[in-house]
Amino acid sequence: MNSKSKVLALKYRPQTFDELIGQKVIAESIFNSIKLNKIPNAYMFLGIRGSGKTSTARIVAKALNCKNGIESLCTKDFCESCQSIIDGNNIDILEIDSASKTSVDDVRELIEFSRYKPTSAKYKIFICDEVHMFSKSAFAALLKTLEEPPAYLKFIFASTDVKKIPVTIISRCQRYDLSRVNSQELFDYLFKIKELEKGKITNEAIKLIVKLSEGSVRDSLSLLDRALLVENNGKDLDLKNAQKIFGYFEKSILIDLISNILDGSENKTLELYSNIYKSGVEPKVFLNEFLEALYYLKNIDFINLDGTNFDLNDNEFDKTKDLSKKIEKKDLLLLWQFTLNNLEKIDIIKNQNQFVEMFLIRCLYLKKILKDEKDLEAKDLQQDSIINKITIENKSKLKQDTINQLKNVEQEEKVITNPEVKNKIENNQIKSLKELVEICEEKRELKIKYELENNLKLVSFKDPKIEISFNSNLDKTFVKDLTAKLLEWTNKRWIIAFSKENGLPTIKEQKKDLKENLIKKESETNFFKEVKKTFPDAELIDVNEEDKS
């Protein structure tokens, strides 16, 4: 350990296999391979930031060159070879920052240097950090040397992005995937560091650090560093103050917010969000946290507070559990999809705070739509006996008119016998999908409009029959809802059927393709080229067609 360093992540960097956090199996495997003299030409360490890749690489380098041998590796009083590797001045151990040395010339230089035998160590070792940053030609130049290196030469690669590393390189290495450190093990490690540093911080605050670090040891030590620097009038730093320091807010506040959305309370919903925003939480971060809260509401029955799960504290767990009993799973999934769609659009809005406020208001109206749907279903259930009789009489007739018919005859007949619907019957003419979308907007049937635009792939539209291709994203109640509304609006029975054809792209996809084509076309104009000359960094992100009406 470098006791002179004030940064915890460097001060407590692991120097031996025993000190590695959360990678016990990998440490044992590497140790045994060295002990049995089955040392690969190259090691490949993969994992998230702060999982111990570079530290493991240095420990392997020390183990291969330790003067005491593999059976008696240095643990405290380091030998000359190990100490020189720790200090970074061993001329036979070369650490390369692959992010800054990416070219083929850099690799050729490396290969040239590898021809010389080690000066004082047993092995000459090249440690390449963030190796995925090498260029394609650099990787190609390295292949032959990596496959058949001299006996004294070893490579150790570390990377956070394995997808960018050619398979030909990976196949020549002994690969180790370093896992995220589990919550309990990371908590015990931070508690030990806190005791060594004589820091004043509560266990609940340490648990928050564990949660925020997402299994990264370096991230957790950096957060602990910040926490230990806070003066709290001689008192231990508690959870509430730690949340303020790290810009974190409890999930229980989000649970309260979702509860108010379900209750239709607009003022309380916006007030809670305003408090969250004022605490320093970015709107995009809020939407991600909102999604996470929905996830816990959906899956709370599978989450246990057993002392090793720090995702939710006791208060958050209890509130989530209580609310999950009052909300239907299909409503949660609809809110989840609605939030995801808005998350895609938030980056194009200048004032993201206003965007989130409008998102929450739309959530309130979305809840109203869900409530109206449930009320309609409740009324329909009262007429089951009549419906069943009518369904049997019409079943054989409808079977001939449909291809794998989606339309639920039973629901259609329910609508006919419903007195409220009879009084609303209209005689509108709907001749295209565009006109159907427009009337949905006019009638405020936003749920049906959403499905038409985002999930419906049209094969043909001919009054009174709509053919669509199968789409697993389509809401399971869509056909029932649409046939009921079409009967109400047109006074006709419509058939909605599956087709084996693929169908046209969705309206959303068509708009996206149109926008991309417009952008591509506009980017090729002389005007944009002139703008590009003046502002080289300029990018064309949107194009609006001029309204000629």
How would you classify the pairing of strands 458-462 and 465-469?
antiparallel
pLDDT at 547: 52
DSSP character at residue 308: S
- For residue 546, name the pLDDT band (cuts at 50, 70, 90): low
pLDDT at 281: 81
The last residue of one of the domains, among 228, 246, 264, is: 246
Cα 50–55–60 angle (5° rounding)?
145
For residue 90, give the 3-state DSSP assignment: coil
Q: Is residue 448 part of a domain?
A: yes
Cα 80–81–86 angle (5° rounding)?
95
Alpha-carbon torsion, ordered 283, 289, 291, 292, to 10 deg: 170
pLDDT at 510: 86
* Cβ–Cβ under 8 Å, residues 249 and 243: yes
Write the CATH number for 236. 1.10.8.60
Average pLDDT estimate for 333-352: 87
pLDDT at 190: 92
pLDDT at 394: 43
Q: Which of 43-52, 245-254, 336-345, 510-519 has the highest mean pLDDT?
A: 43-52
pLDDT at 189: 92
Q: Is residue 530 part of a domain?
A: no
Q: Is residue 531 part of a domain?
A: no
Q: Which of 64-68, 248-252, 417-421 has the highest mean pLDDT?
A: 64-68
pLDDT cut 70: percent of the chain above it = 85
- For residue 400, name the pLDDT band (cuts at 50, 70, 90): very low
Q: Is residue 53 part of a domain?
A: yes
Same domain for 190 and 206, yes or no, is yes
Q: What is the pLDDT of residues 46-101, one digit of tens each?
A: 999 888 999 999 999 999 999 888 888 888 888 888 999 988 888 899 998 888 88
- For residue 119, name the pLDDT band (cuts at 50, 70, 90): confident
- For residue 392, name the pLDDT band (cuts at 50, 70, 90): very low
Average pLDDT estimate for 474-499: 84
pLDDT higher than threshold 50 for residue 1: no
pLDDT higher than threshold 80 for residue 411: no
Cis preceding-peptide flag for 464 (omega within 30 of 0):
yes
Q: What are phi and psi of 73, to 5 degrees?
A: -60, 145
Same domain for 427 and 446, yes or no, is yes
pLDDT higher than threshold 60 for residue 384: no
For residue 78, give the 3-state DSSP assignment: coil
Q: Rounded CA gap, 61 and 90, in Å?
A: 11
Write the CATH number for 18. 3.40.50.300
Average pLDDT estimate for 428-455: 86
Same domain for 214 and 276, yes or no, is no
pLDDT higher than threshold 90 for residue 115: no
Q: Is residue 506 part of a domain?
A: no
Q: Among 271, 276, 299, which Cα is nearest to 289's?
A: 276
Same domain for 242 and 260, yes or no, is no
For residue 155, give the 3-state DSSP assignment: strand
Same domain for 204 and 67, yes or no, is no
Write the CATH number for 295. 1.20.272.10
Give how far Cα 296 sits from Cα of 37, 61, 105, Å: 49, 44, 51
Average pLDDT estimate for 445-470: 85
pLDDT higher than threshold 90 for residue 487: no
* Cβ–Cβ under 8 Å, residues 414 and 387: yes
pLDDT higher than threshold 80 for residue 262: yes
- For residue 4, name the pLDDT band (cuts at 50, 70, 90): low
Range of the domain at 114: 8-177
Q: Rounded CA gap, 237 and 204, in Å?
A: 9
pLDDT at 412: 47
Same domain for 198 and 166, yes or no, is no
- For residue 369, name the pLDDT band (cuts at 50, 70, 90): low
pLDDT higher than threshold 50 for residue 402: no
Same domain for 19 and 151, yes or no, is yes
Q: Among 490, 503, 502, 496, which Cα is nearest to 401's?
A: 496
Q: Is residue 163 part of a domain?
A: yes
Average pLDDT estimate for 165-171: 92
pTM (global) more than 0.75: no
Same domain for 233 and 202, yes or no, is yes
How would you classify the pairing of strands 153-159 and 42-46?
parallel
pLDDT higher than threshold 50 for residue 308: no
Q: Rounded CA gap, 436 and 168, in Å?
A: 54
Same domain for 144 and 194, yes or no, is no
The last residue of one of the domains, among 246, 261, 282, is: 246
Same domain for 409 and 478, yes or no, is yes
pLDDT cut 90: percent of the chain above it = 17
Same domain for 491 and 395, yes or no, is yes
pLDDT at 410: 46
The last residue of one of the domains, among 377, 399, 419, is: 377
Q: Is residue 58 part of a domain?
A: yes
Average pLDDT estimate for 256-276: 88
pLDDT higher than threshold 80 for residue 354: yes
Same domain for 120 and 191, yes or no, is no
Number of structural domains in the chain = 4
Q: Which residue has the higher pLDDT, 397 or 524?
A: 524
pLDDT at 391: 42
Q: Is residue 417 part of a domain?
A: yes
Please name every residue paired with 498 in a beta bridge, in sequence order, or none if there are none: 468
Q: What is the pLDDT of residues 209-233, one digit of tens each?
A: 988 888 899 999 999 998 888 877 7
Q: Among 214, 278, 201, which Cα is nearest to 241's?
A: 201
Mean pLDDT taken over the chain: 81
pLDDT at 304: 60
Q: Rounded CA gap, 516 and 520, in Å?
A: 6
* Cβ–Cβ under 8 Å, residues 220 and 48: no
